[in-house]
């Protein structure tokens, strides 16, 4: 990614302000390290079905933060998509009303007729 970044953005400024460094530190610690640690803790602790659906939250959270913090506008289609994703997450977390069928226990001993 570095070559593409340098090609598109150019070299960073020669001097970085304290605000620049604090922003970079925040992105490093919270945006990467903390998120990485929490994600893998969740993978270790949660059932696979729950983890599979949690990955859908990333774009929803990013969109919500953009709307709340930056005042970005959302279209009706984007809001509907977010609601659909949240509904899918809720549905995936609910316990089934009926217990799933289990396989019969294995037969023991010799089969009859031999």
**For the segment 34-73, what is each residue's pLDDT rounded down to a tens digit?**
888 888 988 898 888 778 877 888 889 889 999 999 899 9
Structurally, how many domains does the chain consist of?
2
Residue 96 and residue 50: Cα distance in Å, rounded?
14
Q: Residue 76 falls within a domain, yes or no?
A: yes
Secondary structure of 48-76 in the HEC alphabet?
HHHHHHHCCHHHHHHHHHHHHHHCCCCCH
Q: Which residue has the higher pLDDT, 76 or 52?
A: 76
Q: Residue 26 falls within a domain, yes or no?
A: yes
Residue 40's domain spans which residues? 19-46
Q: Residue 13 falls within a domain, yes or no?
A: no
Q: Are residues 42 and 60 in the same domain?
A: no
Dmax (CA) for the chain in angstroms is: 88
Q: Are residues 42 and 66 in the same domain?
A: no
């Amino acid at each position: 990614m570095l070559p593409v970044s340098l090609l598109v953005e150019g070299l960073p400024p020669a001097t970085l302000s304290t605000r620049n460094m604090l922003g970079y530190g925040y992105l490093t610690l919270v945006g990467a390290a903390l998120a990485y640690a929490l994600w893998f803790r969740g993978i270790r602790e949660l059932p696979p079905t729950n983890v599979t659906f949690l990955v859908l939250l990333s774009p929803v959270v990013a969109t919500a933060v953009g709307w709340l913090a930056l005042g970005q506008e959302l279209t009706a289609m984007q809001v509907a998509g977010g609601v659909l994703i949240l509904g899918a997450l809720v549905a995936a977390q609910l316990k089934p009303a009926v217990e799933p069928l289990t396989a019969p226990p294995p037969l023991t001993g010799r089969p009859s007729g031999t």
